[in-house]
């Protein structure tokens, strides 16, 4: 297998270019984060899973179970149910299930909500050994537990 002098020069030039880039990166400060002990600062526009916004007066969700988020969701991953309780002016949400395995974090549900009852979570540490825990995230129960 015979190589032309031009191929040898091009190969050597490519090697020198790669070594120059490697040497330049070697002296720059590292950006490694020791994860469990340190964490990165999340950008302000980070989109985690959706969560309910609490009503500052009552502490309950602002959701009125209008199902606008369910209709706007392109992934069909939201199921909403609600009832009109006696003595209340509007419906209350009783069941809000999110299938996070299907969610594309597009934000359509947050944008379409007429009462601004939904927002993106700042939590980024959603981890599990099985995906079944993300199939049916109940936002009503999660709000009550907080």
Query: What pLDDT band is residue 92 in, cutting at 50, 70 and 90?
Result: confident
Residues 119-146: tens digit of each pLDDT = 998 888 777 788 777 777 778 777 777 7
Residues with Cβ within 8 Å of residue 49, at least 6 apart in sequence: 98, 100, 103, 105, 120, 121, 123, 126, 137
Tens-digit pLDDT profile for residues 11-44: 999 999 999 999 999 999 888 888 879 888 888 8
The answer to whether residue 114 sits within a structural domain is yes
Measured in whole angstroms, how far is the alpha carbon of residue 18 from the centre of its chain? 36
The pairing of beta strand 78-83 with beta strand 92-98: antiparallel
Q: What is the DSSP letter of 93?
A: E
110 has a pLDDT exceeding 90:
yes
The token pair that represents 26 in the structure block: 């070697």
**Taking residues 94-123, what's their average pLDDT?**
89
Q: Compute the average pLDDT of residues 62-77.
A: 91
**Complete DSSP assignment for 39-51:** -PPPPTT---SEE
pLDDT at 129: 81
Q: Domain range holding 69?
A: 50-145
User: How far apart, in Å, do the first and last CA atoms of the chain sit?
Assistant: 71
Is residue 102 helix, strand or coil? coil
The answer to whether position 83 is within a domain reads: yes
Contact 43, 51 (CB under 8 A): no
Q: Let me know if residue 16 belongs to a domain.
A: no
At 73, is the pLDDT very low, low, confident or very high (cuts 50, 70, 90)?
A: very high
- Whether 120 is covered by a domain: the verdict is yes
Domains contained in the chain, number: 1
Strand residue runs (E) in the chain: 50-52, 78-83, 92-98, 118-120, 137-138
Q: Is residue 5 part of a domain?
A: no
pTM above 0.85?
no
pLDDT of 1 strictly over 70: no
- Give the CATH number for residue 88: 3.30.70.3270
Question: What whole-number distance in Å separates Cα of residue 4 and Cα of residue 1?
Answer: 10
């Amino acid at each position: 297998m015979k190589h032309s002098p031009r191929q040898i020069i091009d190969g050597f030039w490519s090697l020198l270019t790669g070594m120059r880039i490697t040497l330049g990166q070697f002296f720059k400060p590292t950006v490694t984060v020791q994860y469990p002990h340190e964490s990165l600062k999340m950008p302000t526009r980070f989109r985690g899973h959706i969560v309910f916004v609490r009503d500052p007066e009552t502490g309950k969700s602002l959701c009125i179970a209008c199902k606008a988020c369910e209709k706007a969701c392109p992934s069909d991953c939201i199921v909403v149910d609600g009832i009109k309780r006696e003595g209340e002016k509007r419906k209350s949400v009783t069941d809000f299930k999110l299938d996070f395995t299907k969610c594309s974090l597009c934000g359509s549900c947050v944008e379409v909500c007429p009462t601004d009852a939904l927002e993106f979570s700042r939590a980024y540490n959603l981890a599990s050994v099985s995906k079944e825990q993300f199939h049916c995230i109940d936002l009503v129960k999660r709000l009550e537990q907080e």
